[in-house]
Amino acid sequence: MVYIPSNNLFDRIRRRAAVELFAKPFQLPLKTALITFSFDDCPHSACETGKQILEKHKALGTYYISAGFMDQEDHQGSCFSKADIECLHASGHEIACHSYAHLDTAKISIDGLSKDLSKNQKEMQHILGKGFSPQNFAYPFGNMTPLVKRNLRQRYATCRSVRTGVNRGMIDLACLKAVEINEINAPETCMKFVDDVVENGGWLIFFTHDVRENPSRYGCTPEHFENVVVKARRSGAQILSVRDSLKFLGVNAS
């Protein structure tokens, strides 16, 4: 059974408060047109098919990893393997953090969350070397509280949410907006966001999960994903991972 975070009145108010409080502001240059492709949980299909499509169009992505999923099987198909992580890293894709146990961060103490994040980093260091430290984070389930956000804005250069939209103007690096690519959203929806970022500037971050012919509700088909990548490539916008976008923007990731 797929976990869905609580949506009662208290939790809705708390999530809204987290959006508004403890921002990590950064002024995005007016003429910036950036597009990022990212994957949450990182099923094997994202590591293989998603990777192949990005590289076919000379792009690199950001993979938000929950190490506790390694070598598992779930509703998104086979999860990533050690070899998948090694291949992604060697090819220049970004390995980012999604917590070890894919936690609902609203349901755990700050101390417990810190231990979980450290465990995720150690697992990645076993694969990528002791010097590895993820710069960027995505909130599992898109869920957060004000205290979680305050803590994580200090630990990571950026934290990505699932709030739909383009990041522009004075953006919040601790609560970046994103646009989901799935089979519920019509391809035309994603195309319109690409047109918007090219016309009006901003940083558009796409995210999805599995990339396969019969995707989960959180994933998309290879055709759908490639159509969006092609649209982005032909738009003239810069296509960069989150890590490389920060370098492009001159953001200190330390």
- Distance, in Å, from the CA atom of 159 to the CA atom of 136, rounded to the nearest integer, reads 6
User: Across the chain, which distance is largest between two alpha carbons, in Å?
Assistant: 46
For Cα atoms 153, 26, 175, give the angle at the middle one, nearest 5 degrees: 45
Which domain CATH number covers 181? Answer: 3.20.20.370
Q: Which of 8-12, 70-74, 134-138, 204-208 has the lowest mean pLDDT?
A: 8-12
Domains identified in the chain, total number: 1
Residue 212 counted as domain residue: yes
Q: For 218, what's the count of Cα atoms within 13 Å in the CB-facing half-sphere?
A: 23
Residue 5 counted as domain residue: no
Residue 119 counted as domain residue: yes
Domain that holds residue 23: 13-249
C-alpha torsion sign, points 202, 203, 208, 211: positive
Beta-bridged to residue 137, according to DSSP, are 97, 159
Residue 6 counted as domain residue: no
Residue-wise pLDDT for 209-237, tens only, equals: 999 999 999 999 999 999 999 999 999 99
- Contact call for residues 21 and 146 (beta carbons, < 8 A): yes
Q: 175 or 13: whose pLDDT is higher? A: 175
DSSP 179: E
Residue 7 counted as domain residue: no
Residue-wise pLDDT for 93-119, tens only, equals: 999 999 999 988 888 999 999 999 999
Q: 98 or 11: whose pLDDT is higher? A: 98
Per-residue pLDDT for 3 more than 70? no
Residue 3 counted as domain residue: no
Q: Which of 129, 50, 121, 119 lies closest to 86 in space, CA to CA?
A: 129
- Distance, in Å, from the CA atom of 56 to the CA atom of 59, rounded to the nearest integer, reads 8
221: part of which helix (H) or strand (E)?
none
DSSP 69: G
